[in-house]
Structure 1
């Protein structure tokens, strides 16, 4: 029982005795129900987690399989052309159908060119496969300003007829894979050299804004078809391959650039350049 006294006039008290048996019974029932509910809720949460993890695992397996299938398809497709050329010239040289020394030297030069192209293709394909895997990289402090200036100097030496306008903010550091960002910059400049006239102008800008680094590079080349700027990155990749076969490239330049940006949790967009060609805009977190 629970006792309670109530004061009354003339110094008297009213003592009330309340039975707690029903209260204790209700409390036990409610507590039991609460435990049962929590137990069932935990079982449900575990079951849902298992289902979600299983579905996520299946999705990851499917994505990994699709990446592997695409990689093998890329390798077979891109290596077919140089292998065909090498095979053709090897057969001609082996059958002694190329008689003059001058023609033989031309044939060896073509074979050497295609071997180097195969080497470039294999390197690009392996890098593309590496970037598509969900591997964790230990990013280190990286001076993107100094790196961009170095690559720009190389580009200026290789493109002496170009008018190049550059605005590079000094001392910009970020957490990154230095090798991959170097490759990103190299690919952009290589694409410009490969797909634009030797005298086409170029604009290079690097600056910080808030907690990100902004890289802007545009050229005065032919650019992309008008509708290509609105398409997904895979469409950019397909177009890049179609135009690269005529110029000796792997056709993976744009897709590698996009994959490196994604690897660093950045963003990339492409638009019509003010110079008439292609403008690439990249934002990377400083971290």
Structure 2
């Protein structure tokens, strides 16, 4: 949570982000909502699928119906032939020697199919007989029928014609005697009125059913999209609530279903939590920096006022004022440098990678700290020869910060022990002291910026609470970590764990997990 007065920049950003019209809104306010676009898109795809399915059904039924008509024509043809073979027709030789056809009356009576008509023609095309359901209409033979030979008895001619707005399909085949002589022509016809009526009804059913299905689909899609996008609307409302109340503590209600929207909501809540922590940290950071800068600046201003009142005429006071201003200036320089290092850590800047001899680095830091130890005894414990890949300057800065921190928190007569040893694939740089130790409630926060367990003592000694934050960043930048063990009244031990390089990585450190606890160093 944060106050509106303390976060004007955030308020302006959120207000601009969620209230400024988009380009589409500036061009035209009648932009289509995502729910409408989703409904139209889904209905369009469904309509296309129905159209393709309807075409498939229509042509399949059409092919089946016309195929059934052809099968009926062939079946009727076979039936008529069977009647003829049973004595339905007889060849008769006339006195002149010509062969004519004689049809028995039983043929007309036996073949009585109301949907089919049968006609028998002579080889010259004269109509000899037909079924009575022709109603006096004669269906002429199609072209080429008089040329049918005995070899076309199983093929014939299939024709389609239109008479009085009625489409009729006919099958013409030759009538052949056993000796292979063509004695007549048989034409079986069928009206396609019922087929076309069926196809028209099917078209109406498909079009009407598709329209109803598309309408129901559009309504169902609208309802489902509304329910599915409800969490997104809640996210929008939460964002708007943040804009109005300027409160990052609000969260989006998590849906019970374990689906994509559930993961999205959880992710957004995590994002809001990180943003809240970030802005709170930024607020505390600005407040802490302002507080830390105020003290040396106030001291320098007081010294300048002393000089303005004539302190420069007194050599002793003048020396004391100049000394104080130098110390405060040096403190400001250290603080700015530390803040610059932490800013670089947040910008994810890459550190240099080069071979670093940690034992040599430990001795170098030991020599520099020995002049600052005063009445504190500084010594070196275990010292293994270790070579790692990393940034030598950053590692030295981290080790110096640990050493200075240990000396500042160790009373006169105490001990500070620096050591280096190999442990399970890691190089362990440790700094142990016999100072006052760290309280248990302060241990989780000692690596936070500007945190000080003893604020007055740390400020008096020049610390700003940034040293341990830099130590943690340096360790993590080298793919390592920093640990601490402390007992109030006995002392503390800090350790930087750096992964040792492996051969298969060509000098690049390989991170290995380490289990274990640090031990306090006895004086």
CA contact (8 A) 1:142 1:175 kept: yes
Output one character per residue of 1:220-248: Cα deviation in whole Å (capped at 9) or x when no partner.
11122243235573389343755421211
Q: Is 1:120 the equivalent of 2:334?
A: yes
Note closer, same or farther for the CA distance 1:99–1:255 as it changes in structure 2 (3 Å cut). same
- Give the Å deviation of 1:95: 3.0
Matching residue of 1:47: none
Q: Is 1:169 the equivalent of 2:383?
A: yes
Question: Which aligned pairs between 1:258-269 and structure 2 lie closer than 5 A?
Answer: 258-269=472-483
Question: Residue 415 of structure 2 is aligned with which of 201, 208, 215?
Answer: 201
> How big is the alpha-carbon RMSD for the aligned residues of Structure 1 and Structure 2?
3.5
CA contact (8 A) 1:237 1:255 kept: no
Output one character per residue of 1:46-101: Cα deviation in whole Å (capped at 9) or x when no partner.
xxxx9999999999988877776555444322111000110111122113367633
Note closer, same or farther for the CA distance 1:241–1:175 as it changes in structure 2 (3 Å cut). farther
Question: Which aligned pairs between 1:188-227 and structure 2 lie closer than 5 A?
Answer: 188-227=402-441
Q: Is 1:81 the equivalent of 2:256?
A: no
Q: 5+ residue gaps in structure 1?
A: 1-49
Matching residue of 1:233: 447
SS in structure 2 of the partner of residue 234 of structure 1: coil
Distance 1:69 1:121 in 2: 18
Matching residue of 1:135: 349
SS in structure 2 of the partner of residue 175 of structure 1: strand
Count, aligned residues: 243
Matching residue of 1:37: none
Distance 2:321 2:313 in 1: 11
Q: Is 1:181 the equivalent of 2:420?
A: no
Q: TM-score, normalised by structure 2?
A: 0.41
Distance 1:62 1:101 in 2: 54
Question: Which aligned pairs between 1:51-62 and structure 2 lie closer than 5 A?
Answer: none
SS in structure 2 of the partner of residue 87 of structure 1: helix
Distance 1:262 1:242 in 2: 30
Q: Is 1:257 the equivalent of 2:474?
A: no
Note closer, same or farther for the CA distance 1:286–1:51 as it changes in structure 2 (3 Å cut). farther
Note closer, same or farther for the CA distance 1:231–1:253 as it changes in structure 2 (3 Å cut). closer
Question: Residue 154 of structure 1 is aligned with which of 356, 368, 393?
Answer: 368
Note closer, same or farther for the CA distance 1:235–1:81 as it changes in structure 2 (3 Å cut). closer
- Give the Å deviation of 1:280: 0.9
SS in structure 1 of the partner of residue 413 of structure 2: coil
Matching residue of 2:188: none
Note closer, same or farther for the CA distance 1:179–1:65 as it changes in structure 2 (3 Å cut). farther
Note closer, same or farther for the CA distance 1:142–1:56 as it changes in structure 2 (3 Å cut). farther
Note closer, same or farther for the CA distance 1:261–1:203 as it changes in structure 2 (3 Å cut). same
* Higher RCO, 1 vs 2 (CA within 8 Å, ≥6 residues apart): 1
Distance 2:452 2:416 in 1: 24
Question: Which aligned pairs between 1:22-101 and structure 2 lie closer than 5 A?
Answer: 71-96=285-310, 100-101=314-315
Query: Is 268-277 or 184-193 further displaced after alignment?
Result: 268-277
Of structures 1 and 2, the larger Rg is shown by 2
Query: Is 91-100 or 58-67 further displaced after alignment?
Result: 58-67
Q: TM-score, normalised by structure 1?
A: 0.70
CA contact (8 A) 2:407 2:416 kept: no
Distance 2:277 2:391 in 1: 24
- Give the Å deviation of 1:278: 1.6
Structure with more helix by fraction: 1
CA contact (8 A) 1:146 1:170 kept: no
- Give the Å deviation of 1:205: 2.1
CA contact (8 A) 1:218 1:277 kept: yes
Note closer, same or farther for the CA distance 1:274–1:168 as it changes in structure 2 (3 Å cut). farther
CA contact (8 A) 1:272 1:279 kept: yes
- Give the Å deviation of 1:181: 0.4
